[in-house]
Chains A and B, each alone.
Chain A
Amino acid sequence: DAKTTQPNSMESNEEEPVHLPCNHSTISGTDYIHWYRQLPSQGPEYVIHGLTSNVNNRMASLAIAEDRKSSTLILHRATLRDAAVYYCILRDSVKGAQKLVFGQGTRLTINP
């Protein structure tokens, strides 16, 4: 699996937008970009994923660079419940590899 690079930690304020970056310069054409987050003492949960186009869902938005070498997870209005570790993961859709290999992720702190 291609590697991703994320900042170790970020901090933001409640009710403000948060932009979490991820670099994946070795991404292949068949790699989907996935984001998961892990709240304290819980298993990870799916946030969003995309291939080439920007994606929106009820939790977040995913902005993918035109060359796909980087992406940004956007939380439009952070709440205290969004404090978690956010993982950016590449997953090959063609090879059928189902396993997710986690990097270090970004620990997001939300200030009240």
Chain B
Amino acid sequence: GAVVSQHPSRVICKSGTSVKIECRSLDFQATTMFWYRQFPKKSLMLMATSNEGSKATYEQGVEKDKFLINHASLTLSTLTVTSAHPEDSSFYICSARDPGTGPSRTEAFFGQGTRLTVV
């Protein structure tokens, strides 16, 4: 089945630095990808929709200048956490749907997640 891969799986960074997380669709082209964050014992919260070749659409309350999203190709979207602070520590997850499967096969595929720790 379709695979979405995230890198890195874990990252530790110092406060004030920026961290880039990559999300790749390995065997399909994804014009749209989604970024979520998840705090311990909580559900996934949608942060933004990443659109290939255009600006990302951010959910209410998510700072677009803080969380930079770039979707430069049909198989890669990146999320950059800028000027990271300890409160940005979280589990970040991306997802994509294979448009080639048609409207009746609407399942989404998720990356394995990136555990970010800001110290």
Contact = CB atoms under 8 A, between A and B. Distances in A.
Given A43-B95, A44-B44, A105-B43, A99 B106 contact: no
Interface in B65-119: 91, 93-95, 97, 103-104, 106-113, 115
Contacts of B36: 102
B43 A43 contact: no
B106 A34 contact: yes
Interface in B13-69: 32, 34, 36, 43-46, 49
Interface residues of B, number: 26
By secondary structure, the B interface counts as strand
Given A87-B43, A98-B97, A105-B43, A49 B108 contact: no
Interface residues of A, number: 23
B110 A43 contact: yes
Contacts of B94: 43
B103 A100 contact: no
A38 B104 CA distance: 23
Contacts of B108: 36, 46, 98, 100
Contacts of A46: 107-109
A101 B49 CA distance: 12
A45 interface: yes
A43 B103 contact: no
Contacts of A87: 43
A68 interface: no
A91 B106 contact: yes
Contact of A44 (B45, B106, B110): B110
Interface of A: 32, 34, 36, 38, 41-46, 49, 85, 87, 91, 93, 98-105
6 contacts: A36-B108, A43-B110, A46-B109, A93-B106, A100-B108, A102-B45
